[in-house]
Structure 1
């Protein structure tokens, strides 16, 4: 797409995708049970409310799986405490604004060349985004520890869909909240905290290898 966005996001233009182009986007569907599980997992961390696609502020249609996620899970402003900065979810009416700094430049509104039109930031930890890929429904993360703009590689898939992401991040927050003092006297995470986070993730992901790898990406560097 060649739209020139304003500082508040892409503006209306005659270069918007044709109806046939929008219709060509695959319809990714989410299992009803996974939506229920995601809602139950996120419930302790903040308000959930039914949100409809009309609240999406972009010109292109909201991917069908994200529409279902906001309709049936409905995170508003959610903050999940974890090691380092908290994990953040946004309400649908602010989701488009949260693309600033990824899809377009915060100050100038210019589109950023390394952003794929198929991507939408659906959650963040600091400036590190969790990216929904419309063609597959998967959630991507950028590898490395230097933040989005300084990364060396393209984002890689870490979750099968947005409901798995929600359940996994909630599991991290639940494990973290169990410990009043998660640090050793020399300010390392205790083995118990790391083990609890990995176990919580394994319960969602079904794989110890996946759980430990994701824990390391989320700052639990001693996870094995």
Structure 2
């Protein structure tokens, strides 16, 4: 995870976080405990009463909360945000670990796979994005690094991603996933 740490450190402040910070009603999966202990997305503190807000992966806006906020991220997926009532259409094995515009990236506690689903579809239909957490993190780090390195040149004057940077991100992603078709599918999921 050393390489991942170096990549994620470019996206925002990191801080090793002990599993003792977990506030969930279910056991914290060991893969996630290791991620928070070794990489620890922390983020900036915008307001003292809020604390750290987590980090965003550049260009794709995938947000990872700090560990003490991970359980509260389940609101709206696992339970109804206002009443706290458990939502029956959300499988118990699913744990949202990151989101992109309220679309959840889900750690499946039964399989270890990372799933992705679109919110607002009427019912949750998640598809497998990667086979494990390490691959998911490496894929996002690859894309985020390309986008971060592009700097102000990332988008054209109309705000569209420049094809050269999209191609570079796809190449980096294919290196991680070992397959150009898998890279294209992963990337299309993030672009929606």
TM-score, scaled to structure 1: 0.74
CA distance in 1, matches of 2:35, 2:149: 27
- In the aligned structure 1, how far is the partner of 2:145 from the partner of 2:122? 29
Identify the match of residue 213 of structure 1 among 182, 185, 190: 185
Aligned pair partner of 1:74 in 40, 45, 49? 40
CA distance in structure 1 between the aligned counterparts of 2:123 and 2:24, rounded to whole angstroms: 29
Q: Do structure 1's residue 101 and structure 2's residue 79 form an aligned pair? A: no
2:109 pairs with one of 134, 144, 151: 134
TM-superposition CA deviations, 1:83-126 (whole Å, max 9, x none): 5xx21111111100111111111112111121111111111111
> Which segment drifts farther, 155-164 or 35-44?
35-44
Match of 1:22 in 2: none
Counterparts of 1:86-97 in structure 2, within 5 Å, are 86-97=61-72
* Aligned residues of 1:41 and 1:166 also touching (Cα < 8 A): no
Take 1:52 and 1:121, find their aligned partners in 2: how far apart are those partners? Answer: 19
Distance 1:122 1:42 in 2: 15
Residue 200 of structure 1 aligns with which residue? 172
Distance, in Å, in 2 between the alignment partners of 1:182 and 1:44 is 16
State the 1:183 CA deviation: 3.7
Q: Does the 8 Å contact 1:38/1:164 carry over to 2?
A: no
Unaligned runs of 5+ in 2: 43-53
Matched, 1:121 2:87: no
Higher RCO by CA contacts (8 Å cutoff, separation 6 or greater): 1
What are the within-5 Å matches in structure 2 for residues 132-171 of structure 1?
A: 132-142=107-117, 147-150=118-121, 154-171=125-142
- For the 8 Å contact 1:139–1:157, the answer to whether it is kept is yes
Counterpart Cα distance in 2 of 1:92 and 1:151: 29
Where 1:122 maps in the other structure, the secondary structure is: strand
CA contact (8 A) 1:42 1:166 kept: no
Task: Give the CA deviation at 1:149.
Answer: 2.3
Q: Number of matched residues?
A: 180
Gaps of 5+ in 1: 1-34
TM-score between the two structures when normalised by the length of structure 2: 0.85
